[in-house]
Structure formats: structure tokens, C-alpha cells
Amino acid sequence: MKEKDYIQKAKEHFGKLLEKQFARIEKMKAEEEFIDYSKLEQLVIGIVGGDGIGPYITEEARKIIEFLLADDIKAGKIVIKNIDGLTIENRARQNKAIPDDVLGELKKCHVILKGPTTTPRAGDPWPNIESANVAMRKELDLFANVRPVQVPEEGIDWVFYRENTEGAYALGSDGIMVNDDLAIDFTVTTYEGSYRIIKAAFDYARKSGKNKLTVVTKANVVKTTDGLFLDIAKEIAKDYPEVEWDDWYIDIMTAKLIDEKRRQDFKVFVLPNLYGDILTDEAAEFQGGVGTAGSANIGKSYAMFEAIHGSAPRMVQEGRAQYADPSSIIRAAGMLLEHIGYQEEASRLQMALDICGNYEKKIVMTGRDTGATGGEYAEYLMDTLQDKNLKERWEDYRAGK
């Protein structure tokens, strides 16, 4: 092929991407308000095991949810729906990020608890299918990825609002090899997509009483897309005079998170997709690692909650899956409970996780047979949840006793 033919092919490819994005923008403009769970006669919680260690840890989180919601499940107000088929084997067999039948079942749920799923990379024995997470966020329009990180003894109380459907990940499987010498990927930022995530972050900063918001971009270099994100933040900030806000560039922000003199000043963050993925993994290390942090993916019609770590296929191959730490997905289950209106149950679960994982540590997870199994840890949590003195034990933890 001649150079002009390569250019024409790339133009056609880019044109199709633009058509899809314009269609997505129209959908965002037409979207309705957030679902009101309190008005539902019956709320459906989908449990998706995923693959690798996913089914093992998700099973333990399901037990916790059923334990805390036992009365309403018995009364028929809550339905727990198990959804199979989101394994890498089934996805590869159908050559789809989310098989059609699985997607249909997901759309029958109001909220979803999802185990980790494998995303193929170069050299893997799987086809180059899109990340199931990315696909689910797009299919269900889960635009807000919310990740809290708390380390009370170090004064860390952060909440990250990561844009979830745009940026570098939105078209991560739609790049183009123009020829053997040139590969191009794309990043996308829309006014509607940026506005709704930034407004959600400002709303949370005000309603939570934190009243401090940090916008993270690289607008000094990535001037068009990151520049638009920052400009929209400036626009929205005018409607929130009580919320103090500032903006930082992603490179220096990664440094300031580990700056003991500055990191306690940060409260709520809002940032584009890729930066959010990187920064929240770094932040989770303060709490004990990515295995200890949960993640919420919020849209107006659906919400999905997950662990922020991967599927750890090596643990399965080595016969260690039953020793995988379920803390991250159980924290996600707590976020799910809070999201659907069970604040008291969510609060008690958070306390129990802090006590069992960070304070008493009567049972320790090591990922091997030198420590507890996920099932044993879940039993430890449920025993702790039943303790009438749970709050007092948690207050001792917060006081450093």
C-alpha cells in the first residue's frame, strides 16, 4: 500500500469512531435522573463471580450480604441473583467482552457485585477482546468510579471520583496500526461526560461536609482533552462557593500522595479515567494494598461494585485460590449496601473490616496455607458483626488503644 492509502484507511477508521461518540453524546443528553431504590417493590442484586480467584472471593462477599440482609431477603424485598458466564473461557469462546446472554441477565439487576475478570494481553492464549470491566461500564453507562481510602491513624480520608467511560480506556481496543511503523491510540473527552462526573464529585464534597475538592489533569501538556476537563471544573465550581477546590497535575499529584506534610490536606478527588486508575492503586497501598480496597461504578440506572485488584490466575493454577483475601470485594459489598440505602449495615460492615483486618487480626490472610482461607475470614467477620460491642471495639481501634 502507498502512504496515501494508509492515510485514507486511518481516516475511515477515525470517522467510524466519531460516529459512535456522537451517538453516545446524544444518549447522555437524553438520560434521566438517578434511580430511587426506596421506591422499588423488589430490588435485585446480581452476583457475578468472574474468573480466576473471582468466584472464590465473591462467594464470601455473597455470604456477608445475605447475612446482613437476611430479613429483607426472606420478605422478598431483596432478591440475590447469581450470574454465570463472565469467565475468560466463555468470553473467548464467544469472542465478546460480555456475552449477550450474560449482558441480558446483568440488565435485569439494579445493582451488581462483580468479581475480578481476566483481560487478555499480548502473548496470552486468548483473543484480543475488550476488558469486561470497560465493556460493562460502557454498556450500563457506569460513568462514576468511586473509590474511598481511609487510614485513620495517618489522617488519610480520601474519596476518588474517577471518570469511568471516557479518556484513554474508552477507545482502548479501537486504536489503529496505520502501518508497520505507526500505531495510534485515541483518548476521548466530552462535555457531557466530564460535566456529570465533576458535578457528582462537587455534590459529594458538599453533602459529605468534606468541602475540599482536587481536580487532577495534565492540562498543561494534554491541552485539548484534559484542558476541557479542567475548564468544566472551573465552570461547575462557581455553583459551589462553599467547596474549596484546587487543581494538580497527575505527575506531581502522585508525589504529593506520599508527602506526609501535604497528603492529609486532600479530601475528594475528581480525575479522568487513566489518571484515576493509576492514582487509586497508589492510594490503596496506604490502606494495605489493592486487595483491601473496594470500588463503586455508578450510573443513573445501574450500579456495579467490585474489588480493584485482578483475577490472579496464578493463585488458581497453584491451588491457592481458597486462600485469596476477600477483603476488597467485601468492602465493595459494603459500598453496595450503602448505595441502596442500608447505611447502618454498611457502617457495621466497615467497622468489622477495620477491626478484623487492621486491628485485632485474630485471623490473618497470607494468600497461602500459612494463613486463613477466605471462608474462615468471612466467618470471623460475621462473628464480629454479631458482637453487641462492635462500635466500642471499633472506637478503641480509632483511638489507637
CATH number of the domain encompassing residue 42 = 3.40.718.10
Confirm whether 41 is domain-assigned.
yes
pTM: 0.82
Confirm whether 256 is domain-assigned.
no
Mean pLDDT over 150-160 rounds to 89
Confirm whether 292 is domain-assigned.
no
Mean pLDDT over 251-268 rounds to 95
Mean pLDDT over 78-90 rounds to 96
Confirm whether 42 is domain-assigned.
yes
- pLDDT of 400 > 80? The answer is no
Confirm whether 206 is domain-assigned.
no
What is the average pLDDT value for the chain, to the nearest integer?
Answer: 93
Confirm whether 267 is domain-assigned.
no
The pLDDT assigned to 291 comes to 66
Q: Which three cell numbers stand for residue 124?
A: 496470552
The pLDDT assigned to 25 comes to 92
Q: What percent of the chain has pLDDT over 70?
A: 100
Going by pLDDT thresholds of 50, 70 and 90, the confidence category of residue 52 is very high
Secondary structure, 3-state, 187-223: CECCHHHHHHHHHHHHHHHHHCCCCEEEEEECCCCCC
Give the residue ranges of DSSP H helices in 210-311. 225-237, 250-256, 273-287
Number of domains in the chain: 1
d(CA 101, CA 143): 23
pLDDT in tens, 264-302: 999 999 999 999 999 999 998 998 777 677 889 999 999
d(CA 281, CA 285): 7
Going by pLDDT thresholds of 50, 70 and 90, the confidence category of residue 31 is confident
Distances (CA, A) of 257 to 82, 219, 226, 267, 365: 38, 19, 21, 11, 27
Distances (CA, A) of 105 to 77, 299, 362: 19, 17, 39
Range of the domain at 392: 31-142+299-398
The pLDDT assigned to 223 comes to 97
The pLDDT assigned to 172 comes to 80
Confirm whether 120 is domain-assigned.
yes
Confirm whether 266 is domain-assigned.
no
Crossing angle, helix 374-385 and helix 390-398, to 10 degrees?
110
